[in-house]
Amino acid sequence: MSKPIASLSKTKQILEEFDRGANKTFGQNFIIDPSVVDKISDLAQVDQNTAVMEIGPGLGGLTEYLCYKAKKVISIEIDDHMIEILKKTVGHFENLEVIHQDFLQFDSTTWIAKQKAAGYSVAVCANLPYYITTPILFQLFESPVLPDSITVMMQKEVALRFSAKPSTKDYNALSVIVQYLFNVQLVLNVPKQVFLPMPKVDSAVIRFTPKNKHNIKNQDQFFKLIKACFKQRRKTLSNNLTEYLKDRNHAVEALNQSLIDPSRRAETCDLSDFIRLYEVLYENEGLRKN
């Protein structure tokens, strides 16, 4: 293997050759430490039975390692200038397909379904742009056909929210909703010094693997309930639920039936608490607003 794309000298050489810098519009920060992209590709657990979807390959630093390890890789890149660079940096890989498209317009569900039908395990692996991390992830999370794993680097502050536990400052409605859908692990901390240009904040790699579905009749209503519980973080559950239920007495009754102290705050409740509350409300239709 020649000098890795994700080395400082190679990255500078590529940018100088193409007279390019990082495009702030697309949130580009290039990794300049090969050990980091090697580690991320390892954490994604890809092998010769894996089809990988990469979002925002940039110069191809992570792409290069994924192509060495996976059976096939599809990389979706929005920046037309990067498309030209990728032809030179990783265009020689026969197991790579580069798509010039905004990922939010890409039919990821169909692609994932095709790979699974062909017998591949499907992994998403990417260094996500900070400014669009959540929309990208929720396009994947809400797909009717989920990948087998999602291993992505993002701003550390956002990663901490996804992986947060009850009674911590980062724990919120997003934490509960994502942890209802996935097993969530923060698997790697990445300092800001390994990027060019260097961002203002550190990053982290999160790995999501789908859970078996809980017996929730109406997932959208469940998510609405969770958001209602967190509506004003410093208020008690009984106060926040007043907006969701018909009155305070009904809110207290539902919480008591769920074995949750009405004076608790949402940030102290774990996923099982919210599931119990949901089940009580849906067994007692009179307690719930339409």
Position 1 in a domain: no
Q: Same domain, yes or no, for 189 and 87? A: yes
Among the candidates 162, 191, 210, a domain finishes at 210
Q: Same domain, yes or no, for 111 and 29? A: yes
Q: Same domain, yes or no, for 183 and 272? A: no
Q: Same domain, yes or no, for 264 and 196? A: no
Q: Same domain, yes or no, for 203 and 282? A: no
Q: What is the pLDDT along the chain (290 residues), one digit of tens a residue?
A: 578 999 999 999 999 998 865 555 445 789 999 999 999 999 999 999 999 999 999 999 999 999 999 999 999 999 999 999 999 999 999 999 999 999 999 999 999 999 999 999 999 999 998 889 999 999 999 899 999 999 999 999 999 999 999 999 999 999 999 999 999 999 999 999 999 989 999 999 999 999 987 778 888 899 999 999 999 989 999 999 988 887 899 899 999 999 999 999 999 999 999 999 999 998 666 555 54
The CATH number covering residue 188 comes to 3.40.50.150
Instruction: For residue 50, give both structure tokens.
Output: 């894996």
The pLDDT of residue 211: 93
Q: Same domain, yes or no, for 52 and 157? A: yes
* Residue 23, burial from CB neighbour count under 10 angstroms (0-12, 13-18, 19+): middle
The pLDDT of residue 25: 46
Q: Same domain, yes or no, for 148 and 174? A: yes
The pLDDT of residue 19: 80
| Amino acid found at 248 | R
Among residues 138, 141, 136, 145, the alpha carbon closest in space to that of 111 is found at 145
The pLDDT of residue 174: 94
The pLDDT of residue 290: 47
Q: Same domain, yes or no, for 204 and 146? A: yes
What total of structural domains would you count in the chain? 2
Look-up of token digits 């307690």: 287
DSSP-assigned beta bridge partners for residue 30: 196
Q: Report the 3 state secondary structure along the chain.
A: CCCCCCCHHHHHHHHHHCCCCCCHHHCCCEECCHHHHHHHHHHCCCCCCEEEEEECCCCCHHHHHHHHHCCEEEEEECCHHHHHHHHHHCCCCCCEEEEECCHHHCCHHHHHHHHHHCCCEEEEEEECCHHHHHHHHHHHHCCCCCCCEEEEEEEHHHHHHHHCCCCCCCCCHHHHHHHHHEEEEEEEEECHHHEECCCCCCEEEEEEEECCCCCCCCHHHHHHHHHHHCCCCCCCHHHHHCCCECCHHHHHHHHHHCCCCCCCCHHHCCHHHHHHHHHHHHHCHHHECC
The CATH number covering residue 264 comes to 1.10.8.100
Cis peptide preceding 262, ω within 30 of 0: no
Q: Same domain, yes or no, for 41 and 107? A: yes
The pLDDT of residue 224: 93
Residue 288: phi and psi, rounded to 5, are -110, 140
| Amino acid found at 65 | Y
